[in-house]
Amino acid sequence: KKKGKKGSKKKKKKEKDLTADRTLESLYEELVLEGFLIRPLNIKLSEYIGEFSYLGTTLRQADIEPMPSLSDVRQLIALYGILPLGSQSVHQKAPLMKTLLLAGPGGVGKRMLVHALCTETGANLFNLSPRNLAGKYPGRSCLQYLLHMVFKVARQLQPSVIWIGDAEKTFYKKVPKLEKEMEPKRLKKDLVKVLKSLKPEDRVLVVGTSRRPFDADLKPFCKVYRKIILIPRPDYASRLVLWRELLRGGGARLTPSLDLSSLAKVTDGYTQGHILQAVRQVLTPRRLAQQTTRPLTAEEFIPPLARQDPVYKEEEEAFKMWYGRTPLGKKRARAAKAIEEEGESGKDKDKRGTGKKTGKEEKSKKKNK
């Protein structure tokens, strides 16, 4: 026989405060000294340069789903990160979102967006990346104590951003031999439990960044990161604006001898990080001083670009395939399929309607004859 009354409810156990005997100042100081609470770089969201993709609508008409543009990425960061973190009223009215994953190839500006998120909202930045955790707070109990400290300080001093770089390492399918000493999967079990402690009124966002999300075990990975923003390599319009802004910021004079359009075409497949590195290598103080006698040319930027590996189409396709297997990607595919079926059914109705009219017209013609 089942014990207990039907109407009885299970009482939720209160979480133990592991740092009840310590002040907030002492916890803050410890996290700073251990390198878990870091100062974010002063980067604004407007500094993330990218144009809107006008080709996207035409591709969708041809049943081809395009990659999001950099302008779309900037807008999503504002919607899902800056607005809920920056305003308590927006946070309460908006859907609750505890985690966010920024996935894309190296150099597309994932870390820059994390710092921009903190700058725009005035949030504290905590670094719980596997590399930063290596060798610190060994053992299960010490790790739980650390997580308790981080989330307690994050809630007390909200808004807060908890950044986990190389987020796929926490959910590795198989840990590489070179990284076994680092113990990258330490957070896997405890992270899910700690996320449950976040309440709807807490303006705390866990942001993961990943350049190889397909190395992670998909099911637990997507259980933690339910919102994913896929960041692509820049398209032609974004590269053109990027070259112009970076060259101007570096002190270059834009003359007719410097063909920016050719540079934007040549750098197809290169990320923002690649282009920035090439600009810094060419625009040395000595070269800037020679601009009056010897203007800059597009050919000067080719050698530093040639030393770097671009993002090939195979890598971008791998990101698309991985996203298609995630719950978000499947949901999007189902929605697109439903829209297509509605459109086809509408066309069939129109054809049937026109067929009926023609039949009546034929009967009337026969009677007249």
Task: Indicate if 63 and 192 belong to the same structural domain.
Answer: yes
Q: Of 254, 258, 251, which is closest to residue 285 (Cα–Cα)?
A: 251
- Rounded Cα gap, residues 166 and 216, in angstroms: 10
> What does pTM read for this prediction?
0.82
Residue 3 domain flag? no
Q: Of 294, 281, 226, which is closest to residue 255 (Cα–Cα)?
A: 294
Task: Indicate if 91 and 167 belong to the same structural domain.
Answer: yes
Task: Indicate if 164 and 185 belong to the same structural domain.
Answer: yes
- Please tell me what DSSP assigns to residue 2: -
Greater confidence, 121 or 6? 121
Residue 10 domain flag? no
Q: Is the pLDDT at 162 greater than 60, yes or no?
A: yes
Mean pLDDT of 56-60: 62
Query: pLDDT band at 346, cuts 50/70/90?
Result: low
Q: Is the pLDDT at 360 greater than 60, yes or no?
A: no
Q: Of 205, 206, 204, 164, which is closest to residue 185 (Cα–Cα)?
A: 164
| Host domain of residue 121 | 24-230
How high does pLDDT run on average in the chain? 83
What's residue 7's pLDDT? 47
**346, burial (CB in 10 Å: exposed 0-12, middle 13-18, buried 19+):** exposed
What's residue 275's pLDDT? 92
Give the domain CATH number at 249. 1.10.8
Give the domain CATH number at 71. 3.40.50.300
Task: Indicate if 225 and 265 belong to the same structural domain.
Answer: no
Domain boundary among 211, 230, 249: 230
Task: Indicate if 163 and 188 belong to the same structural domain.
Answer: yes
C-alpha dihedral sign at 234, 239, 241, 244: positive
Residue 328 domain flag? no
Task: Indicate if 138 and 277 belong to the same structural domain.
Answer: no
- In sequence order, the 6+-apart residues with CB closer than 8 A to the CB of 218 are 322, 325, 326
Task: Indicate if 85 and 225 belong to the same structural domain.
Answer: yes
pLDDT tens, 297-326?
Answer: 989 999 999 998 888 888 888 888 888 888
Q: Is the pLDDT at 197 greater than 90, yes or no?
A: no
Tokens in use for 112? 């820059």
Residue carrying structure tokens 């001898």: 257
Domain boundary among 214, 230, 246: 230
Total number of domains in the chain: 2
Task: Indicate if 294 and 205 belong to the same structural domain.
Answer: no
Q: Is the pLDDT at 116 greater than 90, yes or no?
A: yes
